[in-house]
Every structure is written in C-alpha cells, then in structure tokens.
C-alpha cells in the first residue's frame, strides 16, 4: 500500500489462444487502472493480444 493506493500484480495463464501474461493494476480509492501487461513466455504482445488480455477484443 502507498497511502490510499495499492499496487496489485496478477498472473494470467495462457489459454484461448492468448499467451500467459502478467497484469499490473493501480488501485486509488475506488478507481482501478491497468498500468502494465507483459508477456511471460515471449518478448512482446501484439496490440491485438494486449487488448484481448485486457478484455477488449
């Protein structure tokens, strides 16, 4: 925790054609924001993969 902010890190297993990814979120009060998504088994995500991991097909 950083004052009223929290940093959360999640690991998403690869499935449904998407690579395994780490997702970092910043929580400030009642607001949550994804601040980074990184692949765990390759060097980078395509824009389509990034958006799909985020939940925006």
Give how many domains the chain has, as a whole number. Answer: 1
Which residue is listed with tokens 């980078």?
Answer: 44
pLDDT along the chain (57 residues), means of 10: 82 91 93 94 94 84
d(CA 39, CA 15): 13
Q: What's the confidence (pLDDT) of residue 16?
A: 85
Q: What's the confidence (pLDDT) of residue 57?
A: 65
Q: 50 in the Ramachandran plot: left (φ > 0), alpha (ψ -120 to 50) or beta? A: alpha
Q: What's the confidence (pLDDT) of residue 52?
A: 92
pTM of the model: 0.79
The domain containing residue 49 runs over which residues? 5-54
CA 20 from chain center: how many Å?
Answer: 10
d(CA 4, CA 25): 14
Q: What's the confidence (pLDDT) of residue 37?
A: 95
Q: 44 by DSSP, 3-state: which? A: coil
């Amino acid at each position: 925790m950083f004052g009223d902010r929290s940093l959360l890190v999640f690991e998403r297993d690869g499935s449904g054609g998407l690579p395994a990814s780490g997702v970092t979120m910043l929580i400030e009060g009642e607001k949550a924001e994804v601040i980074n998504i990184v692949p765990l088994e390759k060097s980078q995500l395509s824009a389509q993969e990034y958006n799909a991991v985020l939940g925006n097909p």
